[in-house]
Structure 1
Amino acid sequence: MVTKDEAVTAADNFLKNVAYPDRADSVVMLPDTAKNFPYAWTVRFDFQEHIDTGEFAQAPFSSLIVVPHDGSPAHFAPTYPPPAEYLALQAAGNWPPK
C-alpha cells in the first residue's frame, strides 16, 4: 500500500521526469489535495506561473495525477469519466471499458 507521502512523491517524479521535464521547476505539488481511493491515491498539482498570475492559459490542462496502490506508474486521470468513477472502474477491473 502506498502512503500519502509516497503518492505525492511519485506524482512529483512523474510530472518532473515524464510529463513536464521542460517545466520541472514550475511544478507545484498540492499535497493537501491528496485523496485515497481503493485503487489509488489522487494528487493535484499546478504550475507556478498559474499560481502567480491566475491566468487560465498558464494552468495545466489536467491537474489530477493518479498513483496506483499496486506500484504501477503514476499517470494522468482521464478527462472522462469523472475521477471517482474512473477509480471505481479500475478497482473493479472494468477499465478500460470493453
Structure 2
Amino acid sequence: MVTKEEAVAAAFHFVKSGPCQEQADSVVMLPDTAVEFTYGWTVCFDLKEHIETGDFTKKPFSPVVVVPHDGTPAHMAPTFPATEQYMEMRASGSWPPKRGHRDAGTPG
C-alpha cells in the first residue's frame, strides 16, 4: 500500500517529469487534496501562475493525478467520468469501459 506522503511525492515526480515538464518550477502540489480510494490515491496540483493571478487560463487542464496502490505508474485522471467514478471503475476492473455494448432499449 502507498502512504499519503508517498502518493504526493510520486504525483509530484510524475507531473514535473511528464505533463508539466516545461513548467516544472511552477508545479505546486496540494497534499491536503489527497484522497485514498481502493485503487489508489488521487492528488491535485496547480501552477504558481494560476495561484498568483487567479487567471483560469493558467490553470492545469486536468489537475488530478492518480497514484495506484499496486505500484503501477502514476497517471492523469481522465476528465470524464468524474474522478470518484473512475476510481471505482478501476477498483472493480471495469476500466476501460467496454465498447459496442448497448442497452436493449437504446436506439442505435
The structure with the largest alpha-carbon Rg is 2
Shift of 1:21: 1.1
User: What is the total number of aligned residue pairs between the two structures?
Assistant: 98
What residue in structure 2 maps to residue 37 of structure 1?
37
CA distance in 1, matches of 2:97, 2:79: 15
| C-alpha distance after superposition, 1:5-49 (max 9, x if no partner) | 000000000001111111000000000000000001000000000
How far apart, CA to CA, are the structure 1 residues paired with 2:21 and 2:70?
A: 25
Q: Give 3-state SS (helix, strand or coil) of 2:18's partner.
A: helix
Residues of 1 paired with 2:84 and 2:91: CA distance? 10
Aligned to 2:87: 87
Structure 2 SS opposite 1:14: helix
- Structure 1: how far apart are the matches of 2:27 and 2:41? 18
1:1-98 superposed matches below 5 A: 1-98=1-98
- Report the TM-score when normalising by structure 1: 0.98
Higher helix share: 1
Identity of aligned residues (%): 59
Q: Which runs of 5+ in 1 are unaligned?
A: none
The alignment partner of 1:70 has SS state of coil
